[in-house]
Structure 1
């Protein structure tokens, strides 16, 4: 992951938060975190603006609001306050404008939201001063049928059986060549970012974010031999509904597409990616150990210095 020493020039910095049921932040008051971050930005010469839905949810904030679709043209950075779901939603929407995003964790796991509210008065100015690492997170581009509009996903695309009790028969093609078919509750196509989300709970592999790969993970397959597979991220994936009473595709859990027998979706790597900023002490493997509860060393032994 590249280091950078380039400070962020004075500019508008957007703040986006989700004080609703998302990200495990239900019942938490987002007003205080948003106000604190805005004041930190002002103190260091930046102009805070509040994403319009956040402004509506937290009525009465004194700062100007800006629509999400306008952030890319008006702001040099977005601070996402909440959990990973908030950051993923924001990142997906500003990726086409190449605006960087940094997260302040107010959710539960927080694989992507690195800054804690407790030390944001120190950590955020460090980032603004150029003491950060920038990482590019890949996006999926999905189309329904031959002429569907492209939709972006940062985590995953899921095809499943919907509300029907019966399994669905799915066919997977890679680069216009039939790969395999199976019967299952569904299938997940996940990015490295999404490999620690739904795909992980379906026994998929964890893919480090700097690996150029996707994973295809069957959901509760009928045959035990149907296992997850890791493929190169320059592959084009086609999922066809061969048989189903009901099915739908879910794009990052924010858009749902009803599917019938014979329908297909295509998935490939998007041209755009999410610019994710981390503090200098960010360590992906430390994040895995902390968030997944992995034991660092045998009990009583200190970690080895390398």
Structure 2
């Protein structure tokens, strides 16, 4: 839901001039976007700070400017609550074209802007089998994702078997190269290439789809965005867990990946300047 927003007095514009961590497989091309040159904002009536994400956030900016999907996803991983103005092509999220950034920021500082929250997923990979005698026998990986979570077999043409559960109920078991679960924003990016349903941001749901299924008529699903579990029922090669294009762990047959919305990322939409 949109909400009005104001930069307040003495605003500080934080510019992330580097995109953050490189993704393992940049599916959107956003890594080719040049960093934003803070000098282009010299006419904007606000204090400017620039640097990498950590440096900029340390300055407590009123608004954060990020270029491309990688930088926006990196901000989501930090749990930042500073409103973000996305720049450049971003799948499923309104963003400002680079040439319109100065005018868009002027509109932001004048209050002609809406704050729109985007769902952020918490992703947990539990490996091994913890028991009452040794509760630390299971290792866990905790990550956040703004766009999608993917389990994928590393080797080409090596199909594994995956299981999907939602709120404790079995949804499906299928053989495929992988499986993707996407937020409404992510459903318009990579997930759409594997024919996942494209979701409205008004929905509290995830789009889930197999990747290159062995049976071509395998279904795709729209599922609640809490308590989704994905498992590897049988593997024929290493299966990697990928969150927003970053490899974050290895999934085995005794592992369990759970996905739920754990928060939101506040983005700014500027009428006349922000577009999908």
TM-score range, shorter chain: 0.7 to 0.9
CA offset at residue 250 of structure 1? 0.2
Separation in 2, partners of 1:141, 1:28? 27
Q: Does 1:79 align with 2:65?
A: yes
Separation in 2, partners of 1:127, 1:154? 23
CA offset at residue 144 of structure 1? 0.8
Flag the 1:198–1:5 CA change in 2: closer, same or farther, 3 A: closer
Which of 269, 274, 288 is residue 265 of structure 2 equivalent to? 274
* TM-score normalized with structure 2 length: 0.83
Q: Does 1:35 align with 2:19?
A: no
Could you list the per-position Cα deviations for residues 19-49 of structure 1 after superposition, in whole angstroms to 9, with x for gaps in the alignment?
Answer: 7986646776546x33212x234xx1x2211
Separation in 2, partners of 1:185, 1:192? 23
- Does structure 1 conserve the Cα–Cα contact (< 8 Å) formed by 2:49 and 2:59? no
Q: Does 1:187 align with 2:179?
A: yes
Separation in 1, partners of 2:210, 2:51? 37
| Structure-2 residue corresponding to 1:142 | 123
Corresponding residue SS for 1:211? coil
- Does structure 2 conserve the Cα–Cα contact (< 8 Å) formed by 1:103 and 1:114? yes
| Structure-2 residue corresponding to 1:299 | none
Flag the 1:30–1:166 CA change in 2: closer, same or farther, 3 A: closer
Matched positions, count:
259
| Structure-1 residue corresponding to 2:228 | 237
* TM-score normalized with structure 1 length: 0.75
| Structure-2 residue corresponding to 1:61 | none
| Structure-2 residue corresponding to 1:97 | 80
Flag structure 1 segments of 5+ consecutive residues without an equivalent.
54-65, 288-306
Flag the 1:263–1:149 CA change in 2: closer, same or farther, 3 A: closer
Flag the 1:47–1:142 CA change in 2: closer, same or farther, 3 A: same
Flag structure 2 segments of 5+ consecutive residues without an equivalent.
127-137
Taking CA–CA contacts closer than 8 Å with sequence separation of 6 or more, which of the two structures ends up with the larger relative contact order?
Answer: 2
- Does structure 2 conserve the Cα–Cα contact (< 8 Å) formed by 1:217 and 1:227? yes
Could you list the per-position Cα deviations for residues 144-200 of structure 1 after superposition, in whole angstroms to 9, with x for gaps in the alignment?
Answer: 116524210000000011125310101111122222210001000000010011100
Separation in 2, partners of 1:30, 1:128? 22
Q: Does 1:198 align with 2:190?
A: yes
**Which stretch of the first structure deviates more once superposed, 174-183 or 193-202?**
174-183
| Structure-1 residue corresponding to 2:109 | 128
Cα RMSD over matched residues? Answer: 2.7
| Structure-2 residue corresponding to 1:52 | 52
Flag the 1:132–1:164 CA change in 2: closer, same or farther, 3 A: same
Could you list the per-position Cα deviations for residues 102-157 of structure 1 after superposition, in whole angstroms to 9, with x for gaps in the alignment?
Answer: 0222xx56653622232333221111121101111001111111652421000000
Corresponding residue SS for 1:122? helix
- Does structure 1 conserve the Cα–Cα contact (< 8 Å) formed by 2:31 and 2:70? no
- Does structure 2 conserve the Cα–Cα contact (< 8 Å) formed by 1:13 and 1:49? yes
Separation in 2, partners of 1:15, 1:85? 14
Separation in 2, partners of 1:109, 1:4? 22
Larger fraction in strand: 2
